[in-house]
Structure 1
Amino acid sequence: MDNLTHGLLGLAVGALRRPDTPGAPLSATDKAVLLGCALAAELPDLDNLLPAENSVVHALQAHRGLSHALVFTPVIALAATAVARLVFRSARTGPVLLYSLLSVNLAHLLADLWTGWGTRVLLPFSDRRWTLDWTMVVDPWVTLPLLAGALWAWRRRTVWRRALLTGLALSAAYLGLRVALQATLSQRVREAWPAVERVQVFPALLSLTTWRYVAILPGEYGVGTVSLGEAPREERRWPQPTANALPESARGLSTVREALAWARFPLVSTAPRPEGSTEIRIGDLRYHLRGEPTLQFVLVLNPEGTLRDARLDRGGSAGDLLRRWRTPEPAPFSPPAENR
């Protein structure tokens, strides 16, 4: 999730603790718990400052690395507690540490887990990326109730705890609705594709009832959108990459391996460049717009096979993607009947 949502979730987690004296002004421990929870919810993303050999390795390895692993959460909680105790010296350490630990797990790790990018929560024992695919990384309908609760708590400090918990409850209810929609729409796509090997649905930009889907078919992917009240709408077919999709010189590059390990529904393309180098694009169809991949890793190899450049292509700016999303939809793609 974005950092604003992480911090607001941390405050709400801090409000789960009953104040030392309900109805009275906040004690030093009450304030330290809130501060510690907010810090614990934000600190894992300091790994964005870590150096990396290129932007692809930074996005896939440096960020959401060990600082986002379950085994590292006590370290994050201790750091947040130490800062909160420096600010509020008379606060008790136990409650601050306990709720900071709860916050880093719920307000950061879980919040990243329910997005589509993936979080390696089992490092260093497993490098697998886990994800629940409930929301986009930025989802205003998760954030706005938490923000409204925080503003209400600031203006009406006598009801601060009720305000924060109300915002948390509304966000949790929204997430519950998304979980139910995910299950319902996944089943709808499966019913439309009797011979499908696997189906996954993914949140679409700024939409609650419309989701993207990828259906794995023999040798190819079927991608499109599915909505409540409508049949799945197929938008494109893509062939699954073969073992020879990449030049042999590229397969051993660590950056290429990282990108391929990240992509759950990979698209791989290569193209020669005028100066003799080769451009490789590795995309993932869970990020598609009207059937076309948006987020792709672009790697440029020198003629001798070494890596010259690596970058993340998001398919344009946020404004570009929004304009494409608003463009009237073309006629739906109609696959041959024998492929159904």
Structure 2
Amino acid sequence: MDNLTHGLLGWAVGALRRPDVAPDSPERASPTDRAVLVASVLAAELPDLDTLLARGDAVTVALHAHRGLSHSLFFAPVVALAATLIARACFRGARWQPVLLTSLASVLFAHLLPDLWTGWGTRVLLPFSDARLSLDWTVVVDPWVTLPLVIGAGVAWRKRALWRKAVLVGFACSMAYVGARVAVWGALTRRVAQAYPQAEAVRVFPAPLSFSAWRYVARLPGSTLAAGDVTLLGAPREARQVSAPEEALPEDLRDVPTVREALAWARFPVVTVKPVGPDREVHIADLRYHLRGEPTLTFVVRVGPTGAVEDARLERGGSASELLRRWRGEPRAE
């Protein structure tokens, strides 16, 4: 998820703890109360500091450097401890236990879980497994997850005596929306599976700014991928079938670390290799990001004759006008 959502979720996790001093009390909040809230927000934001340390080409940074060890269950206590130390340094006299426990809950439920429920996914099992896991419930930036949290924060700012109730109501509305998406995801997954009884695997993915319309990919026998759209009110509509044999990529290109990283990310890869002078350009798209069956997100890696990466970039399917034209189903411009 985006950093605004992470921070607001962290604040809500901190507000779940009953404060030592009631919000409507004329007394000032205790050091522990203030430290809990500050530490919860910090713990929800600190894992994304890995973006400041990222090094390498565009593909490696996007897929490997970010959402690395700082986003793992193994490292969560370290993040919580760092947030606790900072908060206690700001508020002397704050008690260790409530601040540390709330910080740990914030790392888990305000950062790792929201990243896990997006379509992009995260590697929560590092360093024991490099697998990128995803629940595919929302896109990375979903305004309907964030908006109730923002409204709750706004009410809390204007009505200080009701701040905790406002934050928790916004949090409850946001989580109810996520819960509804989980139910829709399950129902549509079953519907697509029924439409493709021969499929080896079926997956439904969120579409931007949409609650009822989702994308799907079905892996069919013979290394064929079927991509389309499905809504709450209709049957799956297939847009395209693609032949995607795993052996399409030469072994020497598979051994290039940047290419290997992109292949590990792509759950339904469509791979093409194009000669560019003496170099070869590897295009690795993933059909889970498609618009009417055409990939909208592709990692492009240019490999030189010696196997060195000459260039690596992420292509997002064209300009905004091009994506709009494809969404309308208009023919390609020649």
**1:321 offset after TM fit, Å?**
7.0
Q: Show the counterpart of 2:228.
A: 224
Give the stretch that moved more between structures: 233-242 or 160-169: 233-242
Give the stretch that moved more between structures: 48-57 or 160-169: 48-57
Distance 1:324 1:158, change over 3 A: farther
Given candidates 282, 286, 298, the residue that maps to 1:284 is 286
Structure-to-structure mapping, 1:121-270, within 5 angstroms: 121-219=124-222, 220-243=224-247, 245-270=248-273
Contact kept? 1:77, 1:104, Cα under 8 Å: yes
**1:90 offset after TM fit, Å?**
2.7
**1:324 offset after TM fit, Å?**
4.3
Contact kept? 2:139, 2:208, Cα under 8 Å: yes
Q: TM-score, normalised by structure 2?
A: 0.94
Q: Show the counterpart of 1:57.
A: 60
In structure 2, how many angstroms separate the alpha carbons of the residues matched to 1:143 and 1:260? Answer: 31
Q: Show the counterpart of 1:37.
A: 40
**1:74 offset after TM fit, Å?**
0.9
Distance 1:156 1:233, change over 3 A: same
Distance 1:88 1:320, change over 3 A: farther
- Any unmatched runs of 5+ in structure 2? none
Structure-to-structure mapping, 1:96-107, within 5 angstroms: 96-107=99-110
In structure 2, how many angstroms separate the alpha carbons of the residues matched to 1:283 and 1:194? Answer: 25
SS in structure 2 opposite 1:70? coil
Q: Show the counterpart of 1:73.
A: 76
CA offsets per residue over residues 69-90 of structure 1, 9 Å max, x none?
1111111011111111122123
Contact kept? 2:256, 2:307, Cα under 8 Å: no
**1:285 offset after TM fit, Å?**
0.7
**1:316 offset after TM fit, Å?**
3.5
**1:330 offset after TM fit, Å?**
6.1
Percent identity for Structure 1 against Structure 2: 61
CA offsets per residue over residues 139-164 of structure 1, 9 Å max, x none?
00000001111111111110111011
In structure 2, how many angstroms separate the alpha carbons of the residues matched to 1:181 and 1:303? Answer: 48
Matched letter for residue 239 of structure 1: S
Give the stretch that moved more between structures: 16-25 or 156-165: 16-25
**1:67 offset after TM fit, Å?**
0.2
Q: Show the counterpart of 2:11.
A: 11
- TM-align CA RMSD: 1.6
Q: Show the counterpart of 1:82.
A: 85
Contact kept? 1:241, 1:266, Cα under 8 Å: no
- Any unmatched runs of 5+ in structure 1? 332-340
Q: TM-score, normalised by structure 1?
A: 0.92
